[in-house]
Amino acid sequence: MTHKFIYLASQSPRRRQLLEQLGVRYELLLPGPEEDAEAIEAVLPGEAPADYVQRVTALKLDAAVVRHAQRRLAPAPILCSDTTVALGPRIYGKPADAQDAARMLAELAGREHQVLTAVALQADGQRLAALSVSRVRFGPITPAQIAAYVASGEPLGKAGAYGIQGPVAQYVENLDGSYTGIMGLPLFETAGLLRAAGVLG
């Protein structure tokens, strides 16, 4: 079945921008005030980063499918995605505040970490999913540089307290994987799911 547009169940402006890069038409399908998005993102004890990001994405998609039905919207595929940063087994979600952001960046400085982005698409009663795993190495970052970056406000609301497309790029010594995946929506994997669902040619 061919679809003219999809629903994007994400608040992220970067994901919107990346979908536009693919030329995909979308409508936002965002949670209402009654939905507890933070509860969905809670980490289970001992959960591995890849298991965590895929589970959270599936839960976000479950919630979006219910929302779509409750709002009696026109049928179309629903896309969800979630990104997490991991240093070994430790999961770095969105920082709670500026102090938490500074702590995360200090721990990531001078080391290699993983960025995992899971994507899930519900289309015609079928669920398709993919996982992108990238490795990023930061060079040294001084406390003054961390303080200046945190003061800019950019780390807040971002997994691992940074956005690869922002000023933090000056500290990225090496990147192995998907740049768009690190931004929040791996376009290679996402395009594959959209093709399978008849959205892209």
Identify the CA nearest to 129 among candidates 64, 182, 61, 67.
61
Phi, psi of 140 (to 5 degrees): -60, 140
> Which one from 82, 97, 100, 124 is the annotated catalytic residue?
82
Active site residue 82: yes
Task: Annotate 69-89 with b (16+ C-beta within 10 A) or e (fewer).
Answer: eeeeeeebbbbbbbbbbbbee
Six-digit token pair at 87? 């240093």
Rounded distance between C-alpha atoms, residue 126 and residue 108, angstroms: 38
Cα-Cα-Cα-Cα dihedral sign, residues 168, 181, 104, 87: negative
Q: Which residues are catalytic?
A: 82
